Structure 1
Amino acid sequence: MGTAAGLRSAGRTWAPGSRGISYLGIAAVTWAAVTRLEVGAWTYHYSDQGDYTWEQARNYCQTFFTDLVAIQNKQEIEYLNESLPFHGRYYWIGIRKLGGIWTWVGTRKALTKEAENWAAGEPNNRRSNQDCVEIYIKRQRESGKWNDEPCNRRKKALCYRASCQPFPCSQRGECVETIGSYRCECYPGFRGPECEDVVRCAKLEPRGARMNCSHPFGDFSYNSTCTFECQEGFERRGAGMLRCLPSQQWSAETPTCTAIACPVLSAPDRGELNCSHHHGDFTFGSTCAFSCQMGFVLIGPESRECTATGTWTGDSPHCEATACPVLGAPDRGKLNCSHPHGNFAFGSTCTFSCQTGFALMGPESRECTATGTWAGDSPRCEAITCPVLSAPDQGELNCSHPHGNFAFGSTCAFSCQTGFVLMGPESRECTAMGTWTGDSPRCEAIACPVLSTPDRGKLNCSHLHGDFTFGSTCAFSCQAGFVLMGLESRECTATGTWTGNSPRCEAIACPALSAPVRGKLNCSHPHGNFAFGSTCAFSCQMGFALMGPESRECTATGTWTGDAPRCEAIACPVLSAPDRGELNCSHLHGDFTFGSTCAFSCQTGFVLMGPESRECAATGTWTRDSPHCEAIKCSALATPKMGQTACSHLHGDFAFGSTCSFSCQMGFVLMGPESRKCTAMGTWTGDAPQCKAVSCPVLDAPSRGQMNCSHMHGNFTYNSMCTFSCEEGFVRVGAEVLWCVATGNWTGHPPACAEDAAPFLKQVLAYSSGTALAVAGIVLSGTLIALLAKRLSNREEKKKLLNPTSDLGSPGIFTNAAYDANL
């Protein structure tokens, strides 16, 4: 395997019959003697005298061979396990963790799941730096398996020498190592054992297009490219460039050149189109000629040509109809024309009609011909005539004739002599139908309007010239109980009117009544407002009661029965303020009566439960239920952890006015307010307190010793316990166990670790007198003697600190014997 090819699992095959083992020393190697396992062109190598770190092993393999070995199948593993000698530290192989991924270093490719050969429980990365891989050779268990190891460990280097030489496979493929040989995997577009043959595509022969090709590997072969162009007036259909693909197919179909198309032309309206096409319908070079039908003239170019840009020369022509002179309507007439091809142009037809009362004289229609002239002569309108009229008997006739005597539009007025009145129309008009409006009038004597008897009265008339005509006289009177209002008689005059005004009979009147305050009045008046026979009923508005008669009647004497009633407001029960609250009322019609409104409110710290106001209803009852005042609630308080809470409640549990005080257990201190009070806002004063464990000074392990601590309430806080020990060869001087007590102090001072000098020293440490210490000083070094002297001089102080009656610790934990042992 060469560096150009790399390591590829797919290319490694197995040929067990071709393998053999030979041992060969290499004089050029200066690091160590080398042993080689050789199989044809593929060889394994390992160092049999030197052990290296993983980096040294790879440097060794890359210097003298190709690289650390890459193992890809079980047969290879079995062969290596059988052939290589056992080595207690085993062999490095070419796998390493790079960026957290196990990678074949020769190819920088990730190790696939199917290629893994880990031993049971591996890789375990036991110390978080096992980034290199070894292979177990001839191991009692899991022989041939892999294990992750720290890269600085020293092991044998297991190398390989590649079979592929520089620039194999004609540089047109990838050289793949096999056991005993290699093979070429050709790049796309090449084939043959050494990738020496190139794939060929069919020769291109475009029609109507110019082709320009480049052939890097031979005419019309792999990666050959051809570009195509078309002549002016033609456009390419298909790809502008084709490439020969590894599949022996071109990247697209061979393009063609087609004439550029112009928009399809159509014949103008009322015209014709005649075209000649050289390269296809309406394409480059096509020519089209235009003409018009009879009665139409061509406006615009007579022909157009399709250019190389796909546009036509000139503008689109059109056919316009031949024009005739403009026609006008006849006097007293109308003109209505239809213009299929333009105003007053060929094919236009105009019809003539006359105004109401006039008749058409001449042709009813004319048409514009292809020569630009109108068919027929111009018509005219003449007025229609009516029969001649005459004046009525005892009357006169006066006429006006705008369009001729007694013709359409003539008007005749009629009048009568004095003493006569015209019966019929005062005038008549000659209509468009040749008839007069209305009937013929006549003159008759003047009449007055017929008189009628007044209501509750009588009428007596005398007629000289006919019923109710000029000279008639009528007398009026009233029934008992009514009085005549107006003239007692009237006369019909020459003007057809009666003298005076019409009299009437009116009933006797009573004084007008009015509704009581807050009440209503409903009256019936058969003979007039508040007159004889009128009856009035009384009622009160909602919420008021009537005091007096419900109705009164107007008598014949002009007086009312009964006395005037009144309306009084309905009363409700008297209200009182709620406990811990106030009452504020407004009274519209009297205390606690209909319309009274009472508003309720509560004292500070209390909230109104129920309606804010009540109103006295028309039924004499109050709206809604009675409210009450309740103390504002605060949220229930929780007891702090390792603490106690004591509360007092004035108006209910955790309500306005409640006060809670807080305290902590021994060994804990209160963080926050000592008490909180529920305010009128329903919130507690202050923040929630906490009980925090008392802290002791942080302890450190003694030099040449260890410290092991347990913390119940936080690091180095109340009830924390620390146990001390010394390394082998050192002896503890001081207490073995320290507790953090409620005062924030430890039960003693941290111990020290002193070097164990000799059994004689242990005897010296057992003494407590100054004489024994002086004798021991003969054989101890000055530094150790000084330490012991200092420790023993503080003996009494330490006894006091560790004494069970001391206020620094809990009673009964230490004894004097325990103190001596700790020293």
Structure 2
Amino acid sequence: MTASYGTRTTPPRCHKNLFHSCRFVGIFLMTLVILLPTSSDACDDPPRYESMMLKDVSKDLYLPGDQIEFKCRLGFKPIIPLLPTTAICQSDNTWTPLQEACTRKSCPQLADPSNGQVNGTFLFGSEVHFVCNEGYELVGTKILYCEISENNVAWSGDPPQCEKIMCQPPGDIPNGKHTSSHKDVFEYNEVVIYSCNPSGGPDEYSLVGESRLVCSGRDTWSSALPECKVVKCQFPVVKNGRLIAGFARKFYYNAQVVFECVQGFHLKGNSTIVCGANNEWQPKMPECIEGLKPTSPATSPVPRPTDSEHATPGDEPPKYLGGGIIALIVIVTVVGIALICCIVWIVLHKKKKRCVFLLRFFK
């Protein structure tokens, strides 16, 4: 055999389709390698609990056999008897189940304030409300919170107190006085009564405002101070009218009179008026207008024809039909009866002819 020199042998190459297949397999293997750390052969993140937290720093991956330990969160304490606080990543990639092993701590017990009450629970995260009995007011914070304080729990502030409501004297008024004026302090719901002094003149003072004041809060009275002053209204006169109540020689504050008009006139305005604090009648003086008082169209009676003088109001008069209408009804009735009779005679006549024909046919 003669060997041929100068010829080069080329290594076999993959067919084009085979080359693509090889590349696909390579990509698939690389994907498996990338996904390997996240395969199902690992536990999920550690479970979370309201009262517990991980004792150590959490890891990115937990494999079967790994163990984690929990401790109580701030504001919580272990339940007695102690419950398990350790969980293990099992072969089925789940954590051994745990239940809450901690419970809320309690803030120091709070007693009811003197003349008041405290409402709520004392556990961590809760709040309590303070209220006072009637006649007492709260001095301090109304609501306290049980919250974390360093490594323990404590109230957010000092408890308030209930102090008795008191008032300073309401004050003096010119030309007047009030009861218990010798006292320096007044208790809750205590009452003082104001009155006016004699005027020493031809007209008496009138007390304008509330005469009875009540201590309703700390240094708070139920209304403003009244006044003592002369309030006098002019003699009430209405042309074509007369007084029927409230007769007097002088008309002072809150005097009330009632008017009516003489015959042939009607009243325009209020029949009753009162002497006000501005020395004027309120509402304004009425008038007497000549003539009968007009009635509203909505309320005026509707005239109705009556059948006789014995008809009573509200009775509906009997309604009669006209002669032409009655005649028309009679004519329509007669024509209808005649038409019915004709129809009956025609039907019977046809039946009679049919019977004669049948008798001749069967003979």
Per the shorter chain, which TM-score range?
A: 0.3 to 0.5
Return the structure number with greater helix share: 2
TM-score, normalised to structure 2, is 0.46
Q: Normalization by structure 1: what TM-score?
A: 0.24
Does 1 or 2 have the higher relative contact order (CA < 8 Å, sep 6+)? 2
